[in-house]
Amino acid sequence: MPLALDNLRVGRAYLLVNYGEIRKIKVLQRISKENFQVKDLDTLETYELEELLRWGIGKDYDLDELRDE
């Protein structure tokens, strides 16, 4: 069961799966109630979580905390 967006914590890393894309992200800053500035741990790009969820949540959507990062 995926985590709710309001359960994300600044400084922690998460695995996000949506529409076949798998991303490891780290939350850098909370921008609003359900939007965060995140850093992609593979490409080191920073962007808003809202950009990843702009087109909706797919059937494969999952969001879990990465314990080893």
Q: Containing domain of residue 12, as a range?
A: 5-65
Please give the structure tokens belonging to residue 37.
């500035």
pLDDT number for residue 21:
92
Mind listing the pLDDT tens digit for each residue in 12-21?
Answer: 999 999 999 9
Residues ≥6 apart with Cβ < 8 Å to 39? 25, 26, 28, 45, 46
- Report how many domains make up the chain: 1
Mind listing the pLDDT tens digit for each residue in 26-65?
Answer: 999 999 988 999 999 999 999 999 998 988 888 999 999 9
Q: Looking at residue 49, what DSSP letter applies?
A: H
Q: Where do we find the tokens 């069961």? A: 1
